[in-house]
Amino acid sequence: MAGTVNPDLQAERDRISFEQEALTNAIDGTPEKTEKRRKYANLALNDPDFDMTSYNFLSRSEKYGAAVEKTVKMIKKIGKLGITDPTDLYIYRSHIFPNESTSFTLHADMFIPTLMGQASPKQQSKWLPKALTLQIIGTYAQTELGHGTFIRGLETTATYDEKTEEFVIHSPTRTSLKWWPGNLGKSTNHAIVMAQLIVKGQNYGPHPFIVQIRSLENHMPQPGVTLGDIGPKFGYDANDNGFMQFDHVRIPRENMLMKHSRVEPDGTYIKAKNSKLTYGTMVFVRSVLIRDVAALSLAQCATIAIRYSCVRRQSEIKPGAGEPKVMDYRAQQAKLFPQLATAYAFLFVAQEMENIYFSVNSEIDRGEIDRLPELHGLSSALKAFTTDWAVVGMEICRRSCGGHGFSHCSGIPKIYVNALPGVTYEGENTVMYLQAARYLVKCVNMAKRGDQLPGSVAFLNKKPAPKSSITEDVNMVDLVEAYRARAYYLVHMASFELDREIKNGMASYDAWNECAVALVMAAKAYGHYVVVEAFAKKLETLTNNQVPASVIGVLTLLGKLYALHGILENSGDFMSENYLSKQQKSFIYNGFLYALKSLRPDAVGLVDAFEFPDKVLDSVLGRYDGRVYENMLEWAMKDELNKTQVHESYFKHIRPFVKQASKL
Ligand X SMILES: CCCCCCCC/C=C\CCCCCCCCCCC/C=C/C(=O)SCCNC(=O)CCNC(=O)[C@H](O)C(C)(C)COP(=O)(O)OP(=O)(O)OC[C@H]1O[C@@H](n2cnc3c(N)ncnc32)[C@H](O)[C@@H]1OP(=O)(O)O
| Residues with active-site annotation | 426
Examine residue 285 and tell whether it contacts ligand X (CB under 6 A).
yes
263, amino acid identity = V
Examine residue 140 and tell whether it contacts ligand X (CB under 6 A).
yes
**Sole binder of ligand X in the list 62, 264, 292, 478 (CB under 6 A):** 292
CA dist 370 and 454 (Å) reads 10
Q: What 8-state DSSP symbol labels residue 324?
A: P
Shortest Å distance, C-beta 148 to ligand X:
6
Q: Which is nearer to ligand X, 107 or 560 (CB)?
A: 107
Tell me whether strands 225-229 and 242-246 are parallel, antiparallel or unpaired.
Answer: antiparallel
Please answer whether residues 535 and 562 qualify as being in contact, where contact means their C-beta atoms are separated by less than 8 angstroms: yes
**Sole binder of ligand X in the list 90, 204, 589, 635 (CB under 6 A):** 90
Tell me whether strands 157-161 and 190-199 are parallel, antiparallel or unpaired.
Answer: parallel
CA dist 37 and 95 (Å) reads 10
Examine residue 182 and tell whether it contacts ligand FAD (CB under 6 A).
yes
Examine residue 466 and tell whether it contacts ligand X (CB under 6 A).
no
Q: Which is nearer to ligand X, 24 or 114 (CB)?
A: 114
Q: Which does 241 bind (CB under 5 to 8 A by kind): ligand FAD, ligand X, none?
A: ligand FAD
The region, left, alpha or beta by phi > 0 then psi within -120 to 50, assigned to residue 6 is beta
Give the DSSP H or E segment for 190: strand 190-199
- Among 177-185, 273-281, 499-507, 580-588, the segment contacting ligand FAD (CB under 6 A): 177-185
Binding-site residue ranges:
143, 182
Shortest Å distance, C-beta 657 to ligand FAD:
41
Q: Which is nearer to ligand FAD, 391 or 554 (CB)?
A: 391
Spacing of C-alpha 81 from chain mean position: 28
CA dist 476 and 466 (Å) reads 18
Examine residue 588 and tell whether it contacts ligand X (CB under 6 A).
no
Helical axes 20-28 vs 549-569, angle rounded to 10°:
60
Examine residue 362 and tell whether it contacts ligand X (CB under 6 A).
no
Identify the three-state secondary structure at position 539. Answer: helix
Q: Which does 561 bind (CB under 5 to 8 A by kind): ligand X, ligand FAD, none?
A: none
Examine residue 86 and tell whether it contacts ligand X (CB under 6 A).
yes
- Candidates 308, 380, 393, 311; CA nearest to 344 is 393
Give the DSSP H or E segment for 204: strand 202-212
**Sole binder of ligand FAD in the list 264, 292, 428, 499 (CB under 6 A):** 428
Instruction: Say how many residues touch ligand X, by CB under 6 A.
Output: 35
Q: Which does 126 bind (CB under 5 to 8 A by kind): ligand X, ligand FAD, none?
A: none
CA dist 413 and 235 (Å) reads 9
The string over 587-624, giving b where at least 16 C-beta atoms fall within 10 Å of a residue's C-beta and e elsewhere, is: bbeebbeebbebbbebbbbbbbbbbbeeebbbbbbbbb
Near ligand X in 167-196, by CB under 6 A: 182
Q: Which is nearer to ligand FAD, 377 or 605 (CB)?
A: 377
Binding-site residue ranges for FAD:
143, 182
**Sole binder of ligand FAD in the list 64, 97, 111, 140 (CB under 6 A):** 140
Side-chain half-sphere exposure of 43, counting CA atoms within 13 A? 19
Q: Which residues bind ligand X (CB under 6 A)?
A: 86-87, 90, 105, 109, 140, 142-143, 148-152, 182, 276, 279, 282-283, 285, 287-289, 292-293, 354, 357, 372-373, 376, 425-427, 431, 435, 438
Q: Which residues bind ligand FAD (CB under 6 A)?
A: 106, 140-143, 147-149, 180-182, 236, 241, 421, 424-425, 427-428, 430-431, 434
